[in-house]
Structure 1
């Protein structure tokens, strides 16, 4: 049901073979897209070798490296037609600790925003001109329920950045819809990945479906929104959390 017809797709944040980005790239390759995966470390070449696709190392917080990434994709595959903005939350070599807002340093605040919304902004800005020129584009932003719908103590900067992704998604959808470009967001809840800790996995088991989600389940939603079939879905926020945000009386029974 998904239409890709050899479309060129770029998936950011695909370095972990147990992560959402890699699952999305796997699904896109299977659906017939020509895919480039990107991350900040050379392990991305292992992921690309497993998929049989292109890889490129880039720190997407740096606009110059983003420009280099899009230039490399254009030269090897053609202009990006499907952009999956998955980078954020975790980056090789960077570690964040839970801290309440008043105790957060300026540097940590800036780093969270750069990683979780700056990367998305830089990639969308780089992708739009070619999408406008061709009259076709699919942009899918991987956000989170944290920020737009719920909050976690000690994660105010992360929540702020992920909430900002929803605002950017709606803005791009409004501004570029008439150019044949759609922009939507997927908001995952508790998903079992290599970066999940024990508390997060326990929280996943407390959802209405009784388990954490899988990267493949998020990928299925992202691939639909990135396909030709989703031509009239624009500015949408698709929650993928097993119904966790439906629970009002958490821990009451």
Structure 2
């Protein structure tokens, strides 16, 4: 049974991962913060659940509903993060962050992952099997962007959590890995981001399906000896010092 968070956008990475898992034969639950998640789930024959994963009580309710409906969570894909419907936080240099806006980025981009991992791990340990795939970003662990220090800090924290889980739970049959997308063309991509993707060695932005293919492998039984690692999916962009005119 696979749970995928942050899967509400039809052209987003989360939904692409849910679709790939369902196509591979997994029983899937998709979750997001708005009712549009029901439409996504209906498209692939999955269960759906609305939850704000920054709230531990709602995370607990989500896992209880999933276990009742589909059984224990064996695969957890933490994709929720970056932006939340109805809330935008302006980019700025580090000294300009208010406590509230900094806390918002931490809540959305690291606490959501922590809450879900904490909820999933006891059941996975009891089964002696689990796959956790954390969708992070190249921003933070590998590179940085002006005005995105809060986001970068939170995404870098995900890689630290990934390694810690891999170390602490490896002998209980649980793997934990992170996927680090670069410029991916999604519903929320700006024209500037699409242009940045066109300056990668691949000559184009990536697609959600290409990220999903990597997550699918890490979520599989065949990836049993891959844990605590990060997989960069950026068309080679971080290889080049010169990135266009």
- Mark yes or no: TM-score above 0.5: yes
- Say whether the 8 Å CA contact 2:59–2:119 is kept in structure 1: yes
4+ runs of 1 displaced by more than 6 Å? none
Matched, 1:219 2:212: yes
1:104 counterpart residue number? 97
SS of equivalent residue, structure 2 residue 28: strand
Q: Which residue, 177, 200, 205 being the options, matches 1:207?
A: 200
Structure 2 match to 1:197: 190
Instruction: Identify the match of residue 239 of structure 1 among 226, 232, 244.
Output: 232
Match of 1:162 among 155, 168, 179: 155
* 1:45 paired residue number: 38
TM-score by length of 1: 0.96
Partner of 1:3: none
Task: Give runs of aligned pairs for residues 127-206 of structure 1, distance below 5 A.
Answer: 127-206=120-199
One of 62, 67, 73 as aligned partner of 2:66:
73
Q: Deviations over 1:86-144 (max 9, x none)?
A: 00002111112111111111000000000000000000000001100000000000000
- How far did 1:249 drift? 2.6
- Report SS of the residue matched to 1:97: coil
In 2: Cα distance, 1:163 partner to 1:48 partner: 30
SS of equivalent to 1:80: coil
| CA distance in structure 1 between the partners assigned to 2:205 and 2:243 by the alignment | 16
* Root-mean-square deviation (Å): 0.7
Gaps in structure 1 of 5+ consecutive residues:
1-7
- Which structure 2 segments of 5+ residues have no match? none
Instruction: Provide the rounded CA distance (Å) in 1 between the counterparts of 2:179 and 2:165.
Output: 15
1:250 matched to which residue of 2?
Answer: 243
* Aligned match of 1:89: 82
How far is the alpha carbon of 1:250 from its aligned partner? Answer: 2.9
TM-score after normalising by structure 2: 0.99
| Corresponding pairs, count | 245
Q: Is the 8 A contact 2:10 2:40 kept in 1?
A: yes
State how far apart, in whole Å, the 2-side matches of 1:140 and 1:250 are. 29
Q: Which shifted more, 235-244 or 94-103?
A: 94-103
